[in-house]
């Protein structure tokens, strides 16, 4: 049997956001590998082995998946959201590059999914409707000064911004520092949306002005969207709509 | 009958990347509205009216969709990719905000899709695996100097970058200027991937060093991905893998 490795995105939480490509890979898999809460989204069946692992063991997990694929298994590594956005695809390729050359013949595919920031943006309206950036606020894997530099330059470029991992258990002060930098760089009326558990039954969206944002508005299940200077809010009876127009006037 | 308006993303081209949420909205629609090539992706059926319109009439199209939803139709506005990324969601909200207040009671939802840059990144490996930005290079809707400013700041921030609309018929020189700016701001070995018609039978990916990139490598169906300074290439028998590691070393 010829083995394969698919690195697949399960989307932000709702089963109705999983693409047919990803569903087919899961249906044909012999082994599913991933972080515990993502593997638990897979329906068990005969012939399918589920391999759960804890957070922060991404390279071990990647090596395990590569070894099984090389031995002839049809392996799917599952990520939340899109596997190419702050998720498992880069970890698998780091392990592939560091490992022995024979692994490079493995049939590897990345299957995209709906990443959290785009599901959050859709739930809010269209705050990322113009040029934007995505920044992982966790400083586990990069120095804080680089995060700070990127935040300041992103504000100067007037990008809308999406923040992943805004608030970790181990470093809760990071998001407070982020808000301080944004307040130095942006006007106090800048719109900021906190999108908690998007597309799940726990989904909750809150949009406030930057001056009114507080660190506790973000937790580990929140994606934060910061508008550009052009981002607008449409008030109405239900939830407001937050969007960034397509055009910027010539000054 | 109570009308509704869904703004739905069809993904980059393959029918196997359309989410079940989007498929359900299409299956329940009375009217599909959109740019000609996107509407032609919808299978005709009894009870469904297809409304095709030309490019660059986004606000007219949005007003038509809002009017029909207000009159009780179940309308789906279709976009390629994700409707919230350089697509129809912002146009609909611009029309909604400019129109009369009664429209604000319309049931409006945005249904996310796989946006072109993430499908392109998956096909290439994981070049957007760390902090990145998305820039629309068309200067139809914003001044060129703003595009140039964003390119320079994005390079300084060491973001990976994704470019939409790199080369328009009316302004073919824009992408040559983009390459000139990148060459001033980035090292000549920086990796750049041209992803043409991703997920369709015409898909073609080319990755070169920035020094070897030429304007004709991009056309109107191309998404361009520029790596950060950390982006790496894994050579192997088939297509190479381009990826950005998850971590940046503390200097």
In this structure, are A37 and A105 located in the same domain?
yes
- Report if residue B248 sits inside a domain: no
In this structure, are A135 and A193 located in the same domain?
yes
pLDDT at A191: 98
| CB-nearest partner of B135 from A115, A131, A241 | A131
Task: Kindly identify which residue of chain A lies nearest to residue B99, measuring between CA atoms.
Answer: A234
* Two tokens, residue A106: 């493995």
Contact A126 B156 (CB under 8 A): no
Mutate to test the interface with A, among B8, B25, B112 (most CBs of A within 10 A): B112
What's the mean pLDDT in A102-116?
Answer: 96
- Please say if the pLDDT value at position A167 is more than 60: yes
What's the mean pLDDT in A148-176?
Answer: 92
In this structure, are B228 and B154 located in the same domain?
yes
Residues in A touching B98 (Cβ below 8 Å) = none
Q: Phi/psi at A219 (nearest 5 deg)?
A: -130, -170
Query: What CATH number has the domain bearing residue A122?
Result: 3.30.950.10
- Report if residue B201 sits inside a domain: yes
Task: Kindly identify which residue of chain A lies nearest to residue B87, measuring between CA atoms.
Answer: A129
Contact B126 A132 (CB under 8 A): no
What's the mean per-residue pLDDT of chain B?
95
In this structure, are B226 and B123 located in the same domain?
yes
**Which of B58, B81, B114 is at the close of a domain?**
B114
Residues in B touching A114 (Cβ below 8 Å) = 19, 112-114
CB neighbours of B46 closer than 8 A, spacing ≥ 6? none
Query: What CATH number has the domain bearing residue B99?
Result: 3.40.1010.10
Q: Is B98 on the interface with A (CB under 8 A)?
A: no
What's the mean pLDDT in B231-249?
Answer: 92
- Please say if the pLDDT value at position A172 is more than 80: no
Task: Report the C-alpha gap between A74 and A30 in whole angstroms.
Answer: 5
Task: Kindly identify which residue of chain A lies nearest to residue B114, measuring between CA atoms.
Answer: A114
CB neighbours of B160 closer than 8 A, spacing ≥ 6? B127, B128, B129, B130, B131, B132, B133, B225, B226, B227, B228, B231, B244
B33-44 pLDDT, tens digit each: 999 999 999 999
- Please say if the pLDDT value at position A179 is more than 60: yes
By C-alpha distance, which of A212, A248, A215 is closest to A229?
A: A248
In this structure, are A72 and A103 located in the same domain?
yes
pLDDT at A139: 78
Strand, coil or helix: B105? helix
- Report if residue B207 sits inside a domain: yes
- Report if residue B86 sits inside a domain: yes
Given the DSSP bridges, would you call strands A132-136 and B132-136 parallel, antiparallel or unpaired?
antiparallel
Task: Report the C-alpha gap between B206 and B129 in whole angstroms.
Answer: 18
| CB-nearest partner of B126 from A89, A136, A153 | A89
Residue B250: which pLDDT band, with cuts at 50, 70 and 90? low
Which residues partner with B62 through β-bridges?
none
What's the mean pLDDT in B59-75?
Answer: 97
In this structure, are B106 and B128 located in the same domain?
no
- DSSP letter at A239 equals S
Within 10 angstroms of residue B107's Cβ, the number of other Cβ atoms is 12
In this structure, are A98 and A162 located in the same domain?
no
Angle made by CA atoms A48, A54, A59, in degrees to the nearest 5 = 85
Q: Is B212 on the interface with A (CB under 8 A)?
A: no
- Report if residue B250 sits inside a domain: no
| CB-nearest partner of A243 from B21, B89, B134 | B89
- Report if residue A108 sits inside a domain: yes
pLDDT at A76: 98
**Chain B 13-32, CB below 8 Å of chain A: which residues?**
14-21, 24
First to last CA, chain A: 63
- Report if residue A87 sits inside a domain: yes
By C-alpha distance, which of A119, A113, A88 is closest to A25?
A: A113
What's the mean pLDDT in B104-132?
Answer: 97
**Which of A56, A91, A114 is at the close of a domain?**
A114
Distance from CA of A182 to the nearest CA of B (A): 16
Residue B195: which pLDDT band, with cuts at 50, 70 and 90? very high
**How are the residues of chain A apportioned to helix, strand and coil, as percentages rounded to the nearest 5?**
35, 25, 40
Task: Report the C-alpha gap between B142 and B159 in whole angstroms.
Answer: 21
In this structure, are A182 and A208 located in the same domain?
yes
Burial category of B81 from C-beta neighbours within 10 Å (exposed 0-12, middle 13-18, buried 19 and up): buried
By C-alpha distance, which of B86, B106, B128 is closest to B228?
A: B128
Q: Is B66 on the interface with A (CB under 8 A)?
A: no
pLDDT at A1: 54
What's the mean pLDDT in A10-18?
Answer: 98
CB neighbours of A204 closer than 8 A, spacing ≥ 6? A195, A196, A197
pLDDT at A102: 87
Residue B238: which pLDDT band, with cuts at 50, 70 and 90? confident
* Two tokens, residue B11: 């993904």
Task: Report the C-alpha gap between A10 and B66 in whole angstroms.
Answer: 32
A185-238 pLDDT, tens digit each: 999 999 999 999 999 999 999 999 999 999 999 998 999 999 999 999 999 988
Percent over 70 (pLDDT), chain A: 99
Structural domain containing residue A77:
4-114
Task: Report the C-alpha gap between A143 and A164 in whole angstroms.
Answer: 16
What's the mean pLDDT in B87-94?
Answer: 96
pLDDT at B248: 80
Q: How many domains does chain B have?
A: 2
Task: Report the C-alpha gap between B104 and B128 in whole angstroms.
Answer: 37
First to last CA, chain B: 63
pLDDT at A29: 98
Q: Phi/psi at A82 (nearest 5 deg)?
A: -105, 135
Percent over 90 (pLDDT), chain A: 87
Task: Report the C-alpha gap between B226 and B228 in whole angstroms.
Answer: 7
A126 in Cβ contact with B93 (< 8 Å): yes
Contact A129 B237 (CB under 8 A): no
Question: What strands, in cross-sheet order, belong to the sheet with B232-234?
Answer: B125-126, B241-243, B232-234
Q: Phi/psi at A197 (nearest 5 deg)?
A: 50, 50
A31 in Cβ contact with A70 (< 8 Å): no
In this structure, are B188 and B125 located in the same domain?
yes
| Residue tagged 């894997």 (tokens) | A141
Distance from CA of B127 to the nearest CA of A (A): 8
pLDDT at A251: 52
Which residues partner with B49 through β-bridges?
B31
pTM, 2 dp:
0.97
B225 in Cβ contact with B123 (< 8 Å): no
Within 10 angstroms of residue A212's Cβ, the number of other Cβ atoms is 11
Contact B159 A236 (CB under 8 A): no
Contact A89 B142 (CB under 8 A): no
A26-66 pLDDT, tens digit each: 999 999 999 999 999 999 999 999 999 988 889 999 999 99
In this structure, are A83 and A138 located in the same domain?
no
Entry field: residues in chain A: 251
In this structure, are B195 and B180 located in the same domain?
yes
In this structure, are B236 and B122 located in the same domain?
yes
Which residues partner with B108 through β-bridges?
B5
pLDDT at A238: 84
Task: Report the C-alpha gap between B251 and B244 in whole angstroms.
Answer: 18
Residue B177: which pLDDT band, with cuts at 50, 70 and 90? very high
pLDDT at B209: 98
Residues in A touching B122 (Cβ below 8 Å) = 82-84, 89, 109-112
- Report if residue A251 sits inside a domain: no
**Which of B64, B86, B114 is at the close of a domain?**
B114
């Amino acid at each position: 049997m010829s083995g394969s490795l698919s690195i697949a995105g399960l989307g932000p939480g709702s089963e109705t956001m999983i693409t047919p490509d990803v569903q087919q890979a899961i249906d044909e898999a012999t082994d599913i590998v991933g972080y515990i809460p993502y593997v638990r989204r897979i329906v068990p069946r005969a012939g399918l082995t589920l391999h759960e692992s804890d957070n922060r063991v991404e390279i071990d997990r990647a090596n395990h998946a590569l070894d099984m694929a090389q031995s002839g298994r049809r392996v799917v590594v599952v990520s939340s959201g899109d596997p190419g956005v702050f998720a498992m695809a880069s970890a698998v390729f780091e392990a592939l590059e560091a490992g022995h050359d024979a692994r490079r013949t493995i049939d590897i595919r990345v299957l995209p999914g709906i990443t959290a920031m785009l599901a959050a943006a859709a739930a809010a309206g269209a705050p990322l409707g113009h040029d934007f950036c995505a920044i992982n606020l966790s400083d586990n894997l990069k120095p804080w000064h680089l995060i700070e530099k990127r935040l300041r330059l992103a504000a100067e470029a007037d990008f809308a911004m999406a923040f992943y991992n805004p608030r970790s258990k181990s470093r809760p002060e990071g998001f407070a520092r982020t808000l301080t930098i944004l307040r130095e760089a942006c006007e106090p009326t800048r719109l900021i949306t906190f999108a908690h558990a998007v597309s799940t039954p726990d989904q909750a969206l809150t949009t406030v002005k930057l001056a009114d944002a507080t660190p506790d508005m973000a937790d580990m299940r929140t994606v934060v969207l910061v508008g550009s200077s052009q981002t607008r809010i449409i008030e109405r009876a239900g939830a407001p709509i937050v969007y960034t127009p397509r055009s910027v006037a010539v000054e």
